[in-house]
Amino acid sequence: MCRFKSGIIFKGRVVLAPDGNESHSDLLEKLGVEDNTMGAMTRFVRAELLPKDGNKATPIEKWRFNVDQDMTPEWFDEDRGRYEQEFRDAVKEYMKDKPVPRSESIISKEMMTEILVGALYITGICLSILFVPAIRNLFGDVDITYLKSAVFAVFMMAITFNGFNARTSHVNVFEHLGRNKTFIGVMLSIFALQFVFVTFGGEVLSVESLDARSWLICVVMAFIVIPIDMVRKLIMRKNLH
């Protein structure tokens, strides 16, 4: 049991133990990973950071990094410094977050504003494609089914892009993105499915295939949900100070 912060290092991500339970075994069980010798040799590393002299106020760079297993995977041994730094960075992020009281609402004020701002933009841009001439005409002289196909594409992609906003409270939504290979894979899969649905859905989904220009317009419209939320975060942060 770690004296402060423990977690599991995987090849593509770091998972910290939840507050109140620093057990590596419990965390592995929660993640659905078998806690055995083969796993320790190939899949994961039990890691922990211990404050210098037990003082959590000391810089995390001075905390002692400890591996709580005798055997470690080859990928970890080949680049131990990198994985140690990733674990330290994860603990730094954890330290920045303020504990949430049990009595506090599950949906915070920031979460509510994020939901409302995102929903208002997505709803507004989708309706604009159908009813605002300046936006509708971007797609050329097309029928209503084509416009509805564009609405479907923008709606689904905007929701997906909004997932980047939801993954972090930081202004830069792409910060440390490369660490979470699973998230990247899921997002790319969703985008691919959206393209397939719009392109080949036909009469089944009441859509028409979009040309390259229309796809570009849809991607830009959907992506704008990210900078809009960045502005929201900056305003919220400014108001807090």
Average pLDDT over residues 69-89: 91
Cα gap 193→205, rounded to integer Å: 13
Span 122-155, pLDDT tens digits:
999 999 999 999 999 999 999 999 999 999 999 9
What is the pLDDT, as a whole number, of residue 238? 75
Q: For all residues of the chain together, what is the average pLDDT?
A: 87
Q: Give the SS3 label for residue 23.
A: coil
Please name every residue paired with 16 in a beta bridge, in sequence order, or none if there are none.
7
Strand ranges inside the chain, DSSP E: 5-9, 14-16, 45-50, 64-67
Q: What percent of the chain has pLDDT over 70?
A: 92
Q: Is the dihedral of CA 64, 173, 179, 163 positive or negative?
A: positive
Q: How far is CA 240 from the centre of its chain?
A: 24
For the chain, helix, strand, coil in percent to 5 are: 60, 5, 30
The pTM is what?
0.60
| Distances, alpha carbon 174 to alpha carbons 10, 23, 116, 166, in Å | 20, 30, 21, 11
Burial class (CB within 10 angstroms; exposed 0-12, middle 13-18, buried 19+) of 179:
middle
Give the angle subtended at the CA of 143 by the CAs of 141 and 148, to the nearest 5°. 115
DSSP string of 99-142? PPPTTS-SS-HHHHHHHHHHHHHHHHHHHHHHH-HHHHGGG-S-
Span 159-179, pLDDT tens digits:
999 988 887 777 888 877 776
